[in-house]
Structure 1
């Protein structure tokens, strides 16, 4: 059996202890210090102890000694705020010794140190570790912030205005970031951010149109912005107006209105590092007469008919009005194939497809009729002109349209001479019945719609009778002659 721990100082052995005398009635019973009760500390110790919240006393095993033991005084009303210096008065006269409860046994070793003090010591020992962790975290945050700042604000940029010419494409709806990426991929700028940052100072970047642009490799962001926003930097623009035919037209004053072949040749031109990229009109015309049209994107309903001829005019009307972006450097096959394929989409969107029919006409001949409507009048009269054509075809009357006579003559005027009207060519509707073999120009979507849905009426004549291009319509020859006289009075022709 291990030796018993000796009693605390100033206390007699348990077997010699006597019951304390009855305390004076007027004296307040002393309150035992919580730490003394919990840890067996000597209340006469000079060390200052912070009062702690009282705890429920541990149960002391019953002593086998016959000596009477006084139970400790319990008072639940005492809280931290109630402890004061007066509560500890009288402990020095020995009375407190008689009144205090049975002391607890105090073990040797580290447990002699109060828990609060041990926690405080542990906390002090952990401060260097906490500082080390804090500094490490701050270092990581600072490093991450630097990386983030570099990612946001830092970027590579070339210093010069560029080296060699290169063509880049801006797509429909491309943002500034997308344009910068395209420039970076083409080797124009060192980073897309170099272009984006430089674009912030030039609002013209926001008005860049889709298409092809000539820039240079190894340009600074600001130099790339300046180059792109110059009008001459955009190349490969092909604009086909409604009514334009494949070949050029010579105007009465001697000027030349370029046809589709000439427009396409001009759009293919760019000067890249001293080399021209132009495709000649002769190469385009030759290809138009010999190429596999279906393989170049022409719809089957048109390719089957056009393939029967080797005349370059067989693709007339199959190039729809609109704006096309062609890349300088493409071959004649690439150029013509791209325009024909894109036009097929436009024509179908206008209303003519493989299964389209109207007034007893198939898709290809509806396209021919639409081209006649386009060349014979203005938009306000399109439906009426369509009705005249259908009425004449229904009556097996020759169309007698001056526009068809002038087509092979490459003349822009509507009127013709007797000699012109007597020329025996397949497009002369004064000589030949029915429709010409091909369209005579590029019909607009409005002309196509008029061919599909003509106006109601029994007119079989019309003549331009207003200077603004409007026509007068008649059902008889007599009415038609009156309209001709009126047009002359008004100076319409």
Structure 2
């Protein structure tokens, strides 16, 4: 006898209610059977295709990874803003690591998720992810180190950069003409005087424009530190004129401690009534494309606008790239009434100062004696 016959005999329950009760029983059986069926299907997969399922699960849980140090060389660039996941994709594509997942796991295990620095690195092919992480240390970045000395002129600075980086000097010369792209201050008339002397490290992929822009940035930082614009106004000169003075100080001085006095000599001559020619040998040398601070009488006749023996006032522009000491000296000249200075001892770079022409002549004699 089924439920329907019993209910009919008892006559105790309406038809609709009985139907609802049957549906609930079917739903309970379905909830019980669903996980059972899933288990049966999974068992069938593992049983019938267990090997392939194992491979899939193994790859998901333990990603492919090479072992050892790898072989050969691969150049890898990490660009600014790239994450460990971005770097992982690059390394997998270049076959440095077996899988991106292995690399990201190794980065996390080493605690270096935030320690991947932009730059160019030399790695190896088919190396373990852990070794790849170790070789991406910032100490292993490829870089070119260049020393730009204080007092070096723009033309020689560009040649030095070209030689150090292996890039054509013409590319540096072209880049030097784009003042806006380099970030030159508005008062600058060109790169001369504004390629700040320092030791630089450049990445191999750095372009000439980027290299020069970085040097101009260093100048701008130094100018801000020494208060160039405010100091120039206080002295009654433009910032560009102060850079010109600083470049002469840089070229003429043998020691940092003499720079403020040399700056004072320059200002004393400029402010003298009537104005006195600067007569700086270093400006004559610049006009002639030479280095030095002792011009011959014949050389001082050169009509170049940079020749301060020939023209009154400052030369047409800076004659070198001054360092921070020279900029500070130009902004903070020593107190004194000197009008002349002479490097009396070329061996020790000692410079002596004079307020009268008679004193100046004695210093010249001393120089001649020490030069024999």
Pick closer, same or farther for the CA change 1:330–1:460 going to 2, 3 Å. same
Shift in Å, 1:180: 8.2
Look up the match of 1:215: 122
Q: Secondary structure at the match of 1:370?
A: helix
Q: Does 1:262 align with 2:262?
A: no
Larger radius of gyration, structure 1 or 2? 1
**TM-fit CA distance, 1:181:** 8.6
For the aligned residue pairs, the C-alpha RMSD in angstroms reads: 3.6
Give the TM-score, by structure 2 length.
0.67
Instruction: Tell me what 2:276 maps to.
Output: 397
Alignment correspondent of 2:243: 367
State whether residues 236 and 328 of structure 1, in contact with CA within 8 Å, keep that contact through their aligned partners in structure 2: yes
Listed one character per residue, the Cα deviations across residues 2-48 of structure 1 (whole Å, up to 9, x for unaligned) are xxxxxxxxxxxxxxxxxxxxxxxxxxxxxxxxxxxxxxxxxxxxxxx
CA–CA distance in structure 2, aligned partners of residues 361 and 157 of structure 1: 66
- Given that 2:120 and 2:204 are in contact with CA atoms closer than 8 Å, whether structure 1 keeps it comes out as no
TM-score under structure 1 normalisation?
0.52
The DSSP-based 3-state class of the residue aligned with 2:358 is helix
How far residue 355 of structure 1 moved from its aligned partner, in angstroms, is 7.4
Partner residue of 2:103 out of 191, 213, 223: 191
Match of 2:293 among 409, 414, 427: 414
Quote the offset at 1:229 in angstroms: 8.8
CA distance in 2, matches of 1:222, 1:486: 66
Bigger fraction of residues in helix: 2
Higher relative contact order (CA 8 A, sep 6+): 2
CA gap of 1:470–1:217, structure 2 versus 1, over 3 A, is same
Query: How many residues are aligned here?
Result: 292
Q: CA deviation at 1:165?
A: 1.6
Partner SS state of residue 357, structure 1: helix
Q: Distance in 1 between matches of 2:146 and 2:83?
A: 22
Instruction: Tell me the SS of whatever aligns to 1:282.
Output: helix
1:243 corresponds in structure 2 to 151
Deviation at 1:414, TM superposition (A): 1.7
Are 1:315 and 2:194 an aligned pair? no
The residue number in structure 1 matching 2:348 is 468
Is the CA contact 2:195–2:216 (under 8 Å) kept in the aligned structure 1?
yes
Aligned to 2:184: 298
Which one is further off, 217-226 or 387-396? 217-226
Partners in 1 of 2:294 and 2:348 — Cα distance?
16
The answer for the alignment partner of 2:74 in structure 1 is: 164
Distance 2:85 2:337 in 1: 61
Instruction: Write the mapping of 1:280-291 to structure 2, written as runs, cut at 5 A.
Output: 280-289=168-177, 291=178
Task: Decide whether aligned partners of structure 1 residues 425 and 288 sit closer, same or farther in structure 2, where only a CA change above 3 A counts.
Answer: same
* Contact 1:243-1:441 within 8 A present in 2 as well: yes
Contact 1:155 1:194 in 2 (8 A): no
Unpaired stretches in structure 2, ≥5 consecutive residues = 1-61, 112-116
Gaps of 5+ in 1: 1-153, 172-177, 200-209, 248-258, 270-277, 307-313
1:250 paired residue number: none
